[in-house]
Copies of this chain bind each other. A is one copy, B any other.
Amino acid sequence: MRHEFTPTKFYYTFGPHQPALRVRPSDTIVTQTLDSSSRGPDGQEVPQEMQHQSPGTTVYAANPQTGPFYVEGAGVGDMLAVHIEEITPNRSWAESRFVPGFGVFAPEDRACGPTGLSDPLPERSFIWELDLERQVGRLELPQSTLAQIEISLHPFFGCIGTAPRFGEVISSITPAEHGGNMDCVDTGIGATVYLPVFVEGAYLMFGDVHAAQGDGESCGVGLETPARVQVTVDLIRGKAIHWPRIEDETHIMVAGSARPLIDAYRIAHVELIRWLAADYGFDQWEAMQVVSQVGTARVGNVVDPKYTVVAKFPKAYLLG
């Protein structure tokens, strides 16, 4: 079944909120996401009453999520498979920004509280023109010899996730076991994202589309854009996973999120090795050897309250 869903409320936390729509396994959802500043295709912020803000969150009024989608029959210990079929930016521009106290070069890290005493980096806005036909983004660089840059777009969900475990409700700025703000470029068109079901109904949410982004999202902000999106949701029963997994044409992947960065690296790789052992016929130690020689690692984000590393294994080396 195909649902055309127009959101009327956006959430800034992942949790078991009032479901926006109930879907069944194998249903398709076609809907829209706002940009990270709660703006739609017309560049205007949606009205306050559509923003489910919490007290004291003004500074973090970012990353509005579409959903939650309650998946009928999804129980604790099941796994969602979310097939990403379409992510189409629907505005002629995207914005990246330097937010004081945010980003990997910032002396004080607002995400987790000030860690220094120095002046923040300058605040700046960068408006990228999106040429949706040619699938490129263009930025003027008035201060540089290279007066302009044009880059390919590769739109993806900055955020996608389910309701967290242990009864927690987690800001849409933060990635964790449930997914959330992983900001990894691998959750784009054609990918399947596997998410754990920690709460009955799963409570799938997504948003924060980036039209493009480098590894690590170093400045803290990608090419933020609203989008028209389409996903199909499958349910795999009795398949408990600990961290989000991703699969595309060439790789199977695990996204681990933690601070410090090395723990995100470790988590993603440990889970990848265990996955190879559990589902693909590998002995655990042989999997560890092979991953050490052919695995690749992608830094998702190094700017959010938890950092994300994606451990990747080439499907060419999987059986069958």
Contact = CB atoms under 8 A, between A and B. Distances in A.
Interface in A104-158: 104-109, 112-122, 124, 126, 128, 137, 139, 141, 143-146, 149, 151
Nearest to A96: B289
Interface in A185-212: 198-200, 212
A299 B300 CA distance: 12
A64 interface: no
B258 A261 contact: no
A25 interface: no
A124 B60 CA distance: 35
B113 A267 contact: yes
B265 A216 contact: yes
A318 B170 CA distance: 39
Given A54-B166, A122-B285, A217 B113 contact: no
Contacts of A55: 76, 167, 198-200
A65 B76 CA distance: 24
A198 B13 CA distance: 16
A294 to B, nearest CB: 5
A20 interface: no
A3 to B, nearest CB: 26
Contacts of A295: 214-216, 218
Contacts of A171: 166-168
19 contacts: A55-B76, A56-B198, A96-B292, A104-B262, A105-B116, A105-B118, A107-B108, A112-B267, A117-B121, A126-B289, A137-B293, A141-B282, A145-B281, A146-B318, A216-B269, A218-B269, A218-B291, A259-B260, A260-B262
Interface of A: 12-13, 15, 53-57, 60, 76-77, 96, 98, 103-109, 112-122, 124, 126, 128, 137, 139, 141, 143-146, 149, 151, 165-171, 173, 177, 198-200, 212-223, 242-243, 256, 258-263, 265-267, 269-271, 273, 280-297, 299, 302, 307, 317-319
